[in-house]
Amino acid sequence: ELWKGEEKMSIVPKETIEVIAQSIGITNLSPEAALMLAPDVEYRVREIMQEAIKCMRHSKRTTLTASDVDGALNLRNLEPIYGFGSGGPIRFRKAIGHRDLFYTDDREVDFKDVIEAPLPKAPLDTEIVCHWLAIEGVQPAIPENAPLEVIRAPAENQIYQQKDGPLIDIRLPVKHVLSKELQLYFQKIAELTMSKSNPSLFKEALVSLASDSGLHPLVPYFTNFIADEVSRGLNDFLLLFNLMHVVRSLLQNPHIHIEPYLHQLMPSVVTCLVSRKLGNRFADNHWDLRDFTANLVALICKRFGNTYVTLQSRLTKTLVNALLDPKKALTQHYGAIQGLAALGHNVVRLLVLSNLEPYLSLLEPELDAEKQKNQMKSYEAWRVYGALLRAAGLCIHDRLKIFPNLPSPSPSLLNKGKGKVINTEPNKRKLSVDSSENRSPRKRLIATDGSDGGPSPMQVDRPTGDANPPQNSVHPSSSEQASGGNAPESRNAKENQGSKGRTITRKAILDQIWKDDLDSGRLLVKLHQLYGDRILPFIPSTEMSLFL
C-alpha cells in the first residue's frame, strides 16, 4: 500500500526506503544504501508507470487503472500486485499529518458478514445500441446524440477531487430566482390579459410592457403563458386579441432580448393568423385579429429575419401551404393571404400571384351567390376575395411605383384622394349589386348580428363593404411598410387619375421605363383579366393611362 502511495511523489525520500525495508524484515539497512536506492526506485517506478500508460492506451482508455499497472509489471516479468484489480479507479486517502502520503481505504471485513450477505445483483451484460450519429452530415436531434450546446458544460463543471470523497463532482443546474416584484408584475399582467374587464388599464399595462426595462427575466414566463393561453383559449376572441397585443408590446420593448424565445412564440402567433376558428361568436371580429397578427408576423420577420435565416422561409411555407390547401377553411385562407401580404410585395408576387389564377377559379363558385347558398360562406368568400385583391393590388402598385419623378404629395391632395377612392367603388358595386340582390333576407341576418359594419343597415351596401375594407386598410399597411411616403404617393397617384392631362407630358419617360419593365406589364394584364376593373384603383394613373 505504501508503495502505491509513492507513485504520487516526485522523489523518493530515503526514509521511505527504510520504512519499506523494515516492512519486509530488513533491519540493518545502512543509510547510504537507502540513499543510493532511492533514485533507482524512482526510476523503476517511472518506468513501470510509463509502461502502464502504454497498456492503458492499448486498452483504449484515458484513465489509468490498477490492471494497467499489473500489465506493465507483467511486461517486465514482475509479479503483479494483488488485490487492486477492481476494475474501477482506486480511491486514495490522505494520511493525516503527512503532506504527500496516501493510502487506500482498506477496511476490515468480518468474514461472517461476507458469507451471510445476500448475493449481489448480477452485473448487466454488455450490449450494443445502434443509432444514427449523423445523416448525410447532419446530426439528428435524438436522445442518443449529445445536445450540441451541452457538450462543453460538464467539462467546466467537473471538479476532480483526487483525495477524498467522490472523484467527480458535477454541479447542479442553478435555480432561476425571480424577485417578488417581478412575480407580482407577471401575475398582474396575466390577470389583466385574462380578465378583459378593464381595457384602459390593460392599455397602460401594454405600454409598460413595451417600455419598461428589467422585464427580461419574465420573458420565458410570458412566452409560456402566451403559448398556453392561445392553445387553450382559441374560443375566446378577446383573450386572443389581448395576447397578441402582449406579444407586440414584448417585441417593441428595447430592453428585452426575445430572440431565444421566438421559436416558442411563433406557433401561437401563427395560430392566431391561420386558425380555422378564432372566437365562438359572430360578434367576434376575427378578421381584425388576423389583420393585426399579420402585421405582427411581418414585424417579427423584419426584425429577426437576419438572425434567423430560416424564419421567413418557414413562415411563408406554412402560410402558402395553408393557402393552397382547398380543404382548409376560407378563414384560414384569409389569414394566410393577409400574412403573406404583410410580408411585402415580393412575397406576394412570388407566392400569391403565381397561384392566383387557379385559386380564383376555386373561389369563383363560392363568390357566386346562386351557387353558394350559405350566407356565411359567401361572406367569407368575399372577404378572401377582397384580401386577395388588396394583396395583388398593393403588389402591382409597388411594382409600378418605381417611377421616380411624380409630384411630391401635399396634404390637400391626400384628402381629395379619399374621395376618389370612393368614386371608384361603383365599379365594384356593379358586379356585386346584382349578386347580392337575391340574398337580402339572409344578408340582414348578418347585418344585425355583425357589429363591425355598424352603420350599414342597407343590404346593398354590404357587398361593397366587403370589398371595401381592403381598400381602406391600404393606408395603414402601406405606411407599415415604412419606405417613406408610399402612402401619400399612392394617394397622389389616385388624385392624378382624375387629372390625366397633368402628367401626360411624362409619358415619354414613363413609356421607356414601362418597356423595361415588361414583367410588370404582363402582371398587370393578368391581374386585369382576373379582376377586371377592380384592380384599377391600385394602379397609379399615369401607368393606367399607358395601360389603357
Partner 1 sequence: MDPEQVDEFVMGYLKKKGFNSAAKQLQEALHHNNGGTFNSTDYHNDPELTKLIRSFSQSENDPTRYRDGYSKLRSWAYNSLDLYKHELLRVMYPVFIHCYMDLVGKGHTREARAFFNSFRKDHEMIHLRDLQKLEGVLVPSHLEEMEFARSLRQSKVNIKICQYSYDLLLQYLHRTESTLMLGIINEHINFQVYSGQPNSSSDDIDAVTIVGSFQETADHINQKEIQWGLLEDSLEDRLEKTGSLLSDSEKGQGESKDGDVDDSKKRSNEIGKQGSSLKKLKKDKAGNATAKVARQETSIVSPAPRVKPELALPVMSTDVEESILEDLRNRVQLSSVAMPSVSFYTFVNTHNGLNCASISHDGSLVAGGFSDSSIKVWNMAKIGQAGSGALQGESDTNDQNVGPNGRRNYTLLLGHSGPVYSATFSPPGDFVLSSSADTTIRLWSTQLNANLVCYKGHNYPVWDVQFSPFGHYFASCSHDRTARIWSMDRVQPLRIMAGHLSDVDVSVSLTIVRCVQWHPNCNYIATGSSDKTVRLWDVQTGECVRIFIGHRSMVLSLAMSPDGRYMASGDEDGTIMMWDLSTARCITPLMGHNSCVWSLSYSGEGSLLASGSADCTVKLWDVTSSTKLTKAEEKNGNTNRLRSLRTFPTKSTPVHALRFSRRNLLFAAGALSKPAS
Q: Give the list of residues 6+ apart from residue 307 with CB closer than 8 angstroms, or none.
A: 259
Judged by CB, which is closer to partner 1: 27, or 126?
A: 126
Please give the residues from 24 up to 43 whose contact with partner 1 meets the rule CB under 8 A: 39-40, 42-43
CA distance 51 to 53: 5
Three-class secondary structure of residue 162 per DSSP = coil
Choose which of 133, 207, 283, 309 interacts with partner 1 (CB under 8 A): 133
Q: Please choose, from the candidates 223, 236, 333, the residue with its C-alpha nearest in 3D space to the C-alpha of residue 281.
A: 236
Choose which of 122, 141, 172, 518 interacts with partner 1 (CB under 8 A): 122
Taking the CA atoms of residue 283, residue 284, residue 286 and residue 289 in that order, the dihedral angle to the nearest 10 degrees is 130
Q: Is 53 in contact with 43 (CB distance < 8 Å)? A: no
- In the complex, the smallest distance separating the C-beta of residue 157 from partner 1, rounded to whole angstroms, is 14
Q: Please choose, from the candidates 57, 45, 36, the residue with its C-alpha nearest in 3D space to the C-alpha of residue 9.
A: 45
Judged by CB, which is closer to partner 1: 25, or 137?
A: 137
Q: Is 192 in contact with 205 (CB distance < 8 Å)? A: yes
Choose which of 124, 172, 177, 518 interacts with partner 1 (CB under 8 A): 124
- In the complex, the smallest distance separating the C-beta of residue 6 from partner 1, rounded to whole angstroms, is 13
- Asked if 119 is part of the footprint of partner 1 (rule: CB under 8 A), the reply reads no
User: 194 is written with which cell numbers?
Assistant: 385574462
Judged by CB, which is closer to partner 1: 140, or 457?
A: 140
Stretch that binds partner 1, among 138-146, 215-223, 438-446, 520-528 (CB under 8 A): 138-146
Q: Is 543 in contact with 514 (CB distance < 8 Å)? A: yes
User: 381 is written with which cell numbers?
Assistant: 368568400
Judged by CB, which is closer to partner 1: 17, or 392?
A: 17
- In the complex, the smallest distance separating the C-beta of residue 93 from partner 1, rounded to whole angstroms, is 20
Q: Is 300 in contact with 251 (CB distance < 8 Å)? A: yes
Choose which of 16, 17, 65, 397 interacts with partner 1 (CB under 8 A): 65
Query: Using CB under 8 A as the criterion, what x/- string covers residues 397-416 for binding partner 1?
Result: --------------------
Choose which of 107, 131, 176, 327 interacts with partner 1 (CB under 8 A): 131
Q: Residue 68 corresponds to which amino acid?
A: D
- Asked if 62 is part of the footprint of partner 1 (rule: CB under 8 A), the reply reads yes
Q: Please choose, from the candidates 168, 15, 21, 30, the residue with its C-alpha nearest in 3D space to the C-alpha of residue 100.
A: 15
CA distance 508 to 337: 36
Judged by CB, which is closer to partner 1: 26, or 146?
A: 146
Instruction: Give residues in contact with partner 1 (CB under 8 A).
Output: 11, 39-40, 42-43, 45-47, 50, 54, 57-62, 65, 67, 71, 74-75, 87-88, 122-139, 143-146, 148, 151
